[in-house]
């Protein structure tokens, strides 16, 4: 039975969207009163991860802290906000765990697998692309969203970059441990790749003229462009498919199945689309896309 409700706030987006239109800012502000349900009197089979988490009343979740629309730290609440965060909260809610009982841990691209393997987090929801190499050491629920790698350039696109083939001889920034960075290494070696731990440092380098392009998933770049529309623009030519999944301990089939059930229910009952509209959709101005099909491997 669900009776407890909580309000989702997005004050951090007000900072990010300061350079955007007042209309976009108002959409985010209007979304601040949206609510989600938290389950009560939940019961799970003894010995499962779900039972342990529900009994403890708290969960530790890894997410990004620097990605507008998906996972951005709100300096006022010291908690992250965005689409990934809301997806994680939906899962926690089905465990009977309210947002205030979630322990958020910043996970950058390079430390997501180690944090799961070492038990530092119970799961990771952090623009986390599912791929075979990662599935060797962790499991994934989902996907819950599909992005595509794109390129962000300085406003006006002074180098005339239209796609990855134009990155040859250019300084290109991405994040170490990410699939976009590896894609550049593997398939576009003539680009001069520079990597950091977070994308905000790449944006700083582009703004300062230290690099000519930043590459990662289109939705991440869209958030960065929204924060500085006079400085950056998106090429708008996605060249990969990036299915986002929820990382968890390898071999925990019960937990993975539970999360997949929650995701599919959210696809069907509109909670997934509503979460998109409140977060990433408020920045991109795009309606929620059709959700992907979860992989029951």
For residue 296, the model assigns a pLDDT of 85
Asked if residue 290 belongs to a domain, the reply is no
The confidence score (pLDDT) of residue 5 equals 29
pLDDT score of 36: 66
Residues 77, 132 within the same domain: yes
Mean of the pLDDT values across residues 76-83?
A: 95
Considering the entire predicted model, what is its pTM?
0.84
Q: Are residues 140 and 162 part of one domain?
A: no
**Confidence label for 275 from pLDDT (cuts 50, 70 and 90):** very high
Identify the band that residue 284 occupies on the pLDDT scale cut at 50, 70 and 90.
Answer: confident
Domain for residue 204, yes or no? yes
Considering the domain architecture, whether residues 12 and 117 belong to the same structural domain is answered as yes
Q: What is residue 290's DSSP assignment?
A: P
pLDDT of residue 193: 98
Reported as a single tens digit per residue, the pLDDT across 106-160 is 999 999 999 999 999 999 999 999 999 999 999 999 999 999 999 999 999 999 9
Residue 194 and residue 273 share a domain: no
Q: Do 118 and 223 share a structural domain?
A: no
Mean predicted confidence (pLDDT) in 173-181: 96
Q: Where are the beta strands (DSSP E) in 205-255?
A: 213-217, 232-234, 242-249
Contacts of 135 (CB under 8 A, 6+ apart): none
Please indicate, yes or no, if residue 295 is contained in any of the structural domains.
no
Domain check: are 127 and 256 in the same one? yes
The span from the first CA to the last CA of the chain, in angstroms, equals 30
One domain for residues 124 and 65: yes
294: its two tokens: 């979860």
Res 6: pLDDT: 30
Strands (E), the chain: 2-7, 35-39, 59-63, 66-67, 71-74, 79-81, 102-106, 123-129, 138-147, 149-154, 171-175, 192-196, 213-217, 232-234, 242-249
- DSSP letters, 165-197, are GGGTTSEEEEETT-HHHHHHHHH-TTSEEEEES
Q: Last residue of a domain, which of 214, 234, 254?
A: 234
Q: For the chain, give the percent of residues with pLDDT over 90.
A: 83
Residue 53 domain-assigned (yes or no): yes
Among 155, 200, 186, 151, CA closest to 171: 151
Burial of 149 (0-12, 13-18, 19+ CB in 10 A): buried
Q: What is the mean pLDDT of residues 75-91?
A: 96
**Structural domain containing residue 206:** 149-234
Instruction: Say how many domains are in the chain.
Output: 2
Arithmetic mean of pLDDT over the chain: 89
Judgement on whether residues 109 and 176 belong to the same structural domain of the protein? no
- Shared domain for 121 and 56, answered yes or no, is yes
Which residue(s) pair with 138 in the sheet?
249
Examine residue 292 and state whether it is found in any structural domain, yes or no.
no
pLDDT value of residue 286? 86
The reply to whether 188 falls in a domain is yes
pLDDT over 50 at 75, yes or no: yes
Q: What is the CATH number of the domain that holds 176?
A: 3.40.190.10
Give the pLDDT score at 85.
98
Q: Would you state the pLDDT for residue 33?
A: 39
pLDDT for the residue 203: 97
Same-domain status, 23 and 123: yes
Overall average pLDDT of the 163-187 stretch? 97
Do 97 and 36 belong to one domain?
yes
Rounded Cα–Cα distance for residues 290 and 297 (Å): 21
- 156 within domain boundaries: yes
Q: Over the stretch 200-258, which tens digit does the pLDDT of each residue have?
A: 999 999 999 999 999 999 999 999 999 899 999 999 999 999 999 999 999 999 999 99
Whole-angstrom CA distances from 142 to 21, 106, 267 are 34, 21, 11
The pLDDT tens digits of the residues spanning 6-30 come to 333 333 344 333 333 334 344 444 4
Looking at the structure, do residues 53 and 18 belong to the same domain, yes or no?
A: yes
Assess if residue 108 is contained within a domain.
yes
């Amino acid at each position: 039975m669900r009776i407890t409700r909580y309000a989702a706030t997005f004050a951090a987006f007000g900072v990010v969207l300061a350079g955007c239109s007042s209309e976009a800012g108002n959409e985010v502000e209007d979304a601040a009163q949206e609510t989600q349900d938290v389950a009560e009197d939940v019961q799970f089979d003894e010995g499962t991860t779900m039972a342990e988490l529900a009994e403890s009343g708290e969960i530790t979740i890894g997410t990004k802290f620097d990605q507008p629309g998906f996972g951005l730290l709100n300096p006022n609440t010291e908690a992250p906000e965005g689409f990934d965060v809301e997806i994680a909260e939906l899962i926690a809610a089905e465990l009977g765990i309210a947002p205030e009982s979630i322990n958020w841990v910043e996970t950058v691209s390079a430390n997501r697998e180690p944090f799961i393997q070492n038990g530092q987090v119970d799961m990771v929801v952090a623009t986390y692309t599912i791929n075979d190499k990662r599935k060797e050491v962790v499991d994934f629920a989902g996907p819950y969203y599909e992005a595509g790698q794109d390129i962000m350039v300085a406003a006006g696109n002074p180098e005339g970059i239209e796609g990855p083939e134009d990155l040859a001889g250019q300084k290109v920034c991405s994040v170490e441990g990410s699939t976009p960075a590896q894609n550049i290494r593997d398939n576009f070696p003539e680009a001069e790749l520079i990597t950091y731990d977070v994308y905000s440092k790449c944006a700083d380098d582009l703004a300062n003229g230290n690099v000519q392009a930043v590459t990662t998933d289109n939705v991440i770049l869209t958030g960065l462009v929204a924060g500085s529309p006079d400085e950056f623009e998106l090429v708008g030519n996605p060249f990969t498919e990036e299915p986002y999944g929820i990382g968890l301990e390898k071999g925990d089939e019960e937990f993975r199945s539970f999360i997949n059930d929650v995701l599919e229910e959210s696809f069907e009952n509109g909670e997934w689309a509503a979460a998109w509209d409140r977060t990433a959709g408020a920045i991109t101005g795009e309606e929620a896309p059709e959700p992907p099909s979860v992989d029951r491997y």
